[in-house]
Structure 1
Amino acid sequence: MFRRATRKTLALATAAVTVVGLTSACGGSSGSSGGTVNLTYMIWQTSEEAAYQQSIDVFEKAHPNIHVTIDLVSWAQYWAKLQTSAAGRNMPDVFWDHLEYLPELAKEGIITNIADDVKSSKLDLTQYSPKLLAEWENGSTIYGLPKDWDTIATIYNAKDLTTAGMTPAQLGSLSWNLTDGGSFVAALQKLTVDQNGKHPNQAGFDAGHIKQYGIALEAPNGQQDWWDFGVENGCELQDRAYGAWTVSSAACVQAMQFEQDLMYKWHVEAPGTITNTPNAAALPQILAQNTAAITFDGDWDLDTYQSSLPAGSWGVAALPTGPKGSGTVFNGLTDAIYSGTKHPAEAWQLEEWLGSAASEKIVTDSGTVWAAIPSLDSGFITAWKAKGIDVSAFYQGSQGATIGYPLTTSGTAFTNVVLKDMNQVWLNQMAPQAAANDITSVSNAAVANGD
């Protein structure tokens, strides 16, 4: 299970409640008083609330007849609350939507197809990242204006790099392969040390008593670990959006196997007994405690690293490249409009504002999220440079090969089987090929059954 508040991760899906069976008929959470329309805007990330409140303040000045209340609900409770709200016909008018839940929300008619609003407002959709926009379009439907994006990069403990005689530039230029692990594994061997000061490639290394691992990865997540290895090995999770699962392909299985080998063949990655336990430390704490020297994480966690590690003690580098080159998981959110809102016109005005260059600039220039409008992305880099952190590796990743978040109506079945099987893989209790076969079989059966 995932152990911290986060914006985008597969691993917490088991804590979320399916939205199947919800109805959009009637209702809505908004009301009006004295000519003022009250809208509720539900989000889940504490570190982003201030920036969005600043944006809302500007919106309200331009729309004095509309008042917006931000409802902050942690990710762990977010989707369950959304279900309860829908059942009680008291949904937020506008709320953050995630690609994992998009197909189900759309299927149940809970979110609004904004295509007609976009057309009537003559909104220029070309201002958005084409990759982001494509994720939220399905035929003639559009289920939200892209508001942000994220990728995965390497986060490192600067002191650990120095001790290993390695520079951040060297860390960002590593590569891995399926035979000897490449320069990536060689670097992780330098960063891994047992209680006697031995490294994995030295005689007398004690794999049973490792003091510091080279790397610790979120497991059995996918988004922050083997999916990234996968895209760099030519793995595709699906044959197409809303299509069949292809997790059992050789390219995907090899990526899983590579990560399992990092743990149990090369002994350079913290095993599942450390990262999978319910009370395990979050990745920023793992680096702060020197349990591991580096990790892969999303830019949504930058504030957590900033608050967990002393200034100047950590940094960001590019992911290692793989057999097929560089690559990363690429994901983004939109603001969804509840189809049963009592104030659809005002809700669209809020949606349009939040997806505008003016609003996205406010949020991006604060270093909160990358903008879905590419021309604004330099503001995020500048904001973090002022904090002493070069975050350009995240941007560089977005410009290369990427793997998007899976789009499927069988998301619940996929998530459940992934968490069950991959947990066993990371505990060295199941072979990657067996896990991949089971994941593919169960998930495709759910697609065929319409689950």
Structure 2
Amino acid sequence: MVRITTILAAVVVLALATACGSGSDDSGSASDSGPGGTVTLRYAMWDEVQKPPIEKSLAEFTRRHPNIKVTIELNNWNDYWSKLQTQIAGRTGPDVFWNHVAYFPQFSQQGVLTDIGPRIEADKIDMSIYDPKLVEGWQVGEKTYGLPKDWDTIALVYSTAALKEAGLTPADLEDLTWNPDDGGTFVEVLRKLTVDENGRHPGEAGFDEKKIKRYGIALQAPTGQQDWWNFALQNGCRLQDHPWGRWTIDQPSCVQAIQFVQDLRLKYHVAVPAAVTNPPNGPSLDQVVGRGDAATAMDGSWMLRAYNTALPDGGFGVADLPAGPVGKGSVYNGLSEAIYAGTEHPEEAWELVKWLTSPDSQKIVAEAGSVWPGIPSLNDVFVQAWQAKGVDVTGFKKAAEGTTMGYPLTPSSATYNVKALDIFNQVWLGRMSAQDAATKINKESNDAIK
């Protein structure tokens, strides 16, 4: 599960790991060899929801490779990265671990990851089974530093009860449009879903913006992945001049997207105030929608289980995002299975990565409905798992199959993520203009590239 929260990449810590190589001459993991030549690999992950199906997959892997045992190291999102960076600095990283695109630039530059390109070629791995956009996200030049584990995208998650109360149906959330001038049909629907304590809606006489009972939408995205990046793509904005290049978020099409998110809160009064949802201390969006404070939320597919807990028994659904001035679009990325460059067991680690990214293994995980598989031909397996729960999740699938934008690949991601959290919060609170914020973040992030 991909969760974009505040990412404070410890570049100094990573720098200590630059001496790590792909062999075991001067570094290595804490894996060991047991009786009869059995090798124990350490496998790091952060999502407890995925642990049961992954354990099922690993049981099959061990049956096929009786000489390899796998120990799972599970830590929550925040602890995962701090622990991983500490382990890497001490040259005791796990043999195989989940990697995230926000950390990939630093890891790939610091020599933390194993280039598996030669092994892919030697074993004649059929790379056509993966989405090319996911594969490209883990490549730097001629080197490949991971294989696709899963994918995530953004959609509009809604409360079925809130829609019914507003006299709307899921069909009313399809084919919506927005524009930077009047908000379009998207804002019209959000106004119908927003209601104050006296039953009035935004735009109606007597509507009290200070006493709103339920908002139309909840937003929360420290970096922009779950909100303005999507509007930016739909408005013709490019966050970078090219992958690994310079930031370009100060261009008008990007600033308009940032302004639109502020307008949803402060002009149209259809979005939960940032003072409520601002990270890192604000409630998660599934909690906001689950307790009835908002009817919808722009959120990632990794949050499906959370919404199922907050709104059980088919209490929620998923619609595609609205279209902007240049059309529909969503942020789209995923995790990879990566091999630590200092592993003492590179052959066995590669066997594990091959298995985890194989159709057989990913089908096991998809059948559990825990994460969208990195192999597109298995997407319907995931859809069917959720249909059995009474939830249609195809809104995420539509987004993934349409126009998409990957998570920005940049050596300044650590700087951007810190600046974005602080500065954009000021925009959402109305304390800074969209243009000033974009200019400031753009400059400081590009300065970090130098």
Which TM class, normalised by the smaller chain length? over 0.9
Q: Distance in 2 between matches of 1:407 and 1:279?
A: 27
- Report deviation, 1:8: 2.7
* Residues 170-181 of structure 1 aligned to structure 2 (within 5 Å): 170-181=172-183
- Report deviation, 1:223: 0.9
Partner of 1:12: 6
The answer to whether the 8 A contact 1:192-1:200 is kept is: yes
Q: Distance in 2 between matches of 1:446 and 1:310?
A: 45
Unpaired runs of 5+ residues, structure 2, are 21-25
Matched, 1:115 2:110: no
Matched, 1:331 2:333: yes
Q: Distance in 2 between matches of 1:171 and 1:261?
A: 20
Partner of 1:390: 392
The answer to whether the 8 A contact 1:219-1:275 is kept is: no
2:108 to 106, 121, 124: 106
- Report deviation, 1:126: 1.3
Partner of 2:130: 128
Partner of 1:165: 167
Partner of 1:188: 190
Letter in 2 for 1:160: A
The 3-state SS of whatever aligns with 2:70 is: strand
Partner of 1:149: 151
The 3-state SS of whatever aligns with 1:316 is: strand
Matched, 1:428 2:430: yes
The answer to whether the 8 A contact 2:2-2:334 is kept is: no
Matched, 1:253 2:247: no
- Report deviation, 1:84: 1.1
- Report deviation, 1:278: 4.8
Partner of 1:3: none
* Residues 10-409 of structure 1 aligned to structure 2 (within 5 Å): 11-14=5-8, 17-18=10-11, 19-23=13-17, 24=20, 25-34=26-35, 35-276=37-278, 278-409=280-411
The 3-state SS of whatever aligns with 2:10 is: coil
Q: Distance in 2 between matches of 1:389 and 1:432?
A: 37
Q: Distance in 2 between matches of 1:220 and 1:136?
A: 23
1:324-370 CA-partner distances (Å, limit 9, x unpaired):
11111101110110111010000011011111111111111221111
Aligned length: 441
Q: Distance in 2 between matches of 1:221 and 1:305?
A: 21
- Report deviation, 1:111: 0.7
- Report deviation, 1:22: 3.0
- Report deviation, 1:279: 4.0
Q: Distance in 2 between matches of 1:142 and 1:278?
A: 33
1:84-120 CA-partner distances (Å, limit 9, x unpaired):
1112221100000011111111111011000111111
The answer to whether the 8 A contact 1:175-1:320 is kept is: yes
Q: Distance in 2 between matches of 1:407 and 1:286?
A: 31
The answer to whether the 8 A contact 2:6-2:280 is kept is: no
TM-score (norm 1): 0.96
Deviates more, 1:148-157 or 1:362-371: 362-371
RMSD of aligned residue pairs (Cα, Å): 1.2
The 3-state SS of whatever aligns with 2:317 is: strand
1:247-268 CA-partner distances (Å, limit 9, x unpaired):
1111111000011011111111
Partner of 1:410: 412
Q: Distance in 2 between matches of 1:349 and 1:277?
A: 39
- Percent identity between the two aligned chains: 49
The answer to whether the 8 A contact 1:21-1:108 is kept is: yes
Q: Distance in 1 between matches of 2:301 and 2:140?
A: 27
TM-score (norm 2): 0.96
Letter in 1 for 2:171: A
Q: Distance in 2 between matches of 1:202 and 1:102?
A: 49
Q: Distance in 2 between matches of 1:238 and 1:278?
A: 26
Distance 1:63 1:413, change over 3 A: same
